[in-house]
């Protein structure tokens, strides 16, 4: 199977999952989930946690925040190298105008990175919550038509790798 055929299959499967143009509770849930993975939300929340949190939460927040920043640079570099256009659509104009490239999904990579770090560092309740949340964020991005399935798959792999590296660096210090 050649690359063109794989991309066509990816676009077809992604289009089948799409609910961006269908109003309703599922659409609202997808919008909430898609935005819950926004980088500004995590930067602000983690900075606040690092500032106000006790020792464990302060170090947890700083590690996650630093990891997200490094991952963001890596994702942007790959996006500008690959330059895959986002699927056509109306939803998510802010994403489409500020970042017209879809591969890999930064939201999927970030969500998985955060879940990996929580799974390794705890607490358990947060790890469970984030391990459920991460794939839902990624799938919501496809459902809303701002990513293809292969974008979120690549984001997942990148998030797993970034999480493993962040944990190795953290263990070294």
Report DSSP letters for 4-52, one per residue: HHHHHHHHHHHHHH--TT--SHHHHHHHHHHHHT-HHHHHHHHHHHHHH
Q: Report yes or no: 136 and 23 within 8 Å, Cβ to Cβ.
A: no
pTM: 0.92
Q: pLDDT grade, residue 94 (50/70/90)? A: confident
Distance CA 38, CA 40 (A): 6
User: What's the pLDDT score for residue 99?
Assistant: 84
Of residues 123, 115, 98, the one with CA closest to residue 162: 115
Rg (the chain; Cα; Å): 16
The residue to which tokens 């490094």 are assigned: 70
Who has greater pLDDT, 78 or 91? 78
């Amino acid at each position: 199977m050649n690359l063109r055929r794989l991309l066509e299959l990816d676009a077809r499967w992604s289009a089948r999952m799409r609910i961006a143009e269908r109003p309703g509770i599922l659409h609202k849930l997808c919008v909430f989930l898609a935005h819950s993975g926004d980088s500004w939300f995590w930067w602000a929340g983690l900075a606040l946690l690092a500032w106000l949190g006790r020792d464990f939460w302060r170090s947890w927040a700083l590690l996650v925040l630093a990891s997200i920043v490094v991952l963001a640079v890596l994702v942007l570099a790959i996006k500008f190298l690959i330059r895959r256009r986002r699927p056509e659509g109306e939803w998510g104009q802010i994403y489409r105008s500020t970042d017209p490239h879809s591969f890999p999904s930064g939201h999927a990579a970030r969500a998985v990175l955060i879940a990996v770090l929580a799974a390794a560092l705890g607490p358990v309740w947060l790890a469970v919550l984030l391990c459920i949340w991460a794939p839902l964020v990624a799938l919501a991005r496809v459902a809303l038509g701002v990513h293809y399935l292969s974008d979120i798959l690549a984001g997942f792999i990148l998030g797993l790798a970034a999480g493993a590296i962040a944990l190795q660096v953290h263990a070294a210090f």
